[in-house]
Amino acid sequence: MTDEVAVTWSVDGPVMTIVLQRGPANALGLPIIEGIGAALDAADAAGASVVVVTSALPKFFAAGADIKLMAEIDAAGFMAYGDQLRAVLDRLAARVSIAAVEGVALGGGLELAMACCLRVAGTGASFGLPEVRLGLIPGAGGTQRLPRLVGRGRALDIMMTARQVPADEALAMGLVDRVVEAGQAEPAALRLAATLCQMSQPALAAVIATVDAAFDLPMEDGLQFEVDAEQKLFEDGDAMEGIAAFVAKRTPDFSRSVR
């Protein structure tokens, strides 16, 4: 755990829950950045299959970057701070992860949620990237991940107006994947995590990689990337167990696979 207890985590079988709890608003300063990094180290050590990121603060998932810190650093310090934040979000994006969002997710807080594979929101949640009000742009993946989720026009609208998007609109545009009753985002995310844990983990990783390739590669190259990924799963992944279980009309046991 971190000295300031900005982040705590717990492991229940294959699921790790990371809890942000740096009052008053979970500003993404170094305590949270380092805390998430330490939690991901612990997830690796524990062999956790799915990570759920949530908040102990009912009104805030995370309210953005640490502006007080930004006011005290020079250009080199600003770059170093951004690099640390981007590095931990990239680690989160590389694994099966779910953001459970209650309250506001603004600026870096929304970038944190978007770095997760999936987002579950309570009905009272809201989302925004208001960096233009500071004379900045989202700098931890926001300008890249948001258009991939909602399209160019909606992304420009959200970033250029600095407005907050309510949960129902976020669901309709694809910014979040599920909306549940207020206060139920974390339980719903944990149920979703339990479902994902029953799946082939190499196959889930391949789904993430191939879908990302759809945005990064020309169609012909993306199709070849898909072919290569599927062939690798057939040869080295869980496909033999999945196919055998289907033929035998039983539930596949993917836990026997070597990760």
Interatomic CA distance for residues 121 and 102, integer angstroms: 6
Give the Cα separation of 228 and 125 in Å (integer). 39
The chain-wide mean pLDDT, for the chain, equals 94
Q: Which CATH number fits domain 7-197: 2.50.20.10, 3.90.226.10, 1.10.3720.10, 3.30.70.100?
A: 3.90.226.10
Distance from C-alpha of 229 to C-alpha of 209, rounded to nearest angstrom: 9
pLDDT tens readout for residues 198-221: 999 999 999 999 999 999 999 999
Catalytic residue among 111, 220, 226, 241: 111
Tokens 């699921």 sit on residue: 15
Please tell me if the domain spanning 7-197 has the same topology as the one spanning 201-256: no
pLDDT of amino acid 139: 94
Nearest 5 degrees, angle CA 17-CA 11-CA 126? 5
Summarised one tens digit per residue, pLDDT across range 98-123 is: 999 999 999 999 999 999 999 999 99
Q: For the chain, give every domain's residue range.
A: 7-197, 201-256
In CATH terms, the fold of domain 201-256 is Lyase 2-enoyl-coa Hydratase; Chain  A, domain 2 (1.10.12)
Residues 18/52, Cβ–Cβ less than 8 Å: yes
Instruction: Specify whether 241 is catalytic.
Output: no
72, 102, 131, 235: which one is catalytic?
131
E strand or H helix at 52: strand 50-55
Give the pLDDT confidence of 18-27 residue by residue, as tens digits.
999 999 999 9
DSSP 8-class letter at 163: P
DSSP at 240: H
Per DSSP, helices labelled H in 71-183 are 75-93, 108-115, 142-150, 152-161, 167-173
* pTM for this model (two decimals): 0.93
Q: Is 102 considered catalytic here?
A: no
